[in-house]
A and B are shown apart, each in its own frame.
Chain A
Amino acid sequence: MDFTSLSFTDVSRSYGRRWALNRVSLRCDAGEIVALLGPNGAGKSTLLAVAAALLSPSAGSVRYGEHDAHGAHATPALRQRIGLVGHDLYLYPELTAAENLTFYGRLHRVPDVERRVDAALERAHLTARRDDAVHGFSRGMRQRLTLERALLHDPRLVLLDEPFTGLDDASSLALVTRLEDLRAKGCIVLVATHDLEIIDGVINRAVMLRDGRLVSLAATGGSLRDRYRRAGV
Chain B
Amino acid sequence: MRGQSVRRLRSAAATWSALTAALGVVAALGVFVFESPAQRVVIEYLILVGLVVAIQTFVGASGILSFGHLAFVGASAYAVALVTIPTEQKARLLPELPEWLAGLEFGLLGAVAVGVLAASILAAVTGAVLPKMEQFPMAMATLAVLVMMHTIFANWETVTRGTIGILGIPQLVDIPVAFGAAVVVVAVSVAFQASAAGLRLQAVREDEVAASALGISVVSARRTGWLVSGALTGAAGAIWALNNVAYGPDQFFFADTFTLLSMLVIGGMRSVPGAVVGAAVVTVVSQLLRTVENGFSIGPIQVAEFPGVVQLAIALVILVVLVVRPDGIVRGEWISLARRLRGRAGR
Q: Do A and B come from one complex?
A: no
Q: Which residues of A contact B (CB under 8 A)?
A: none
Q: Which residues of B contact A (CB under 8 A)?
A: none
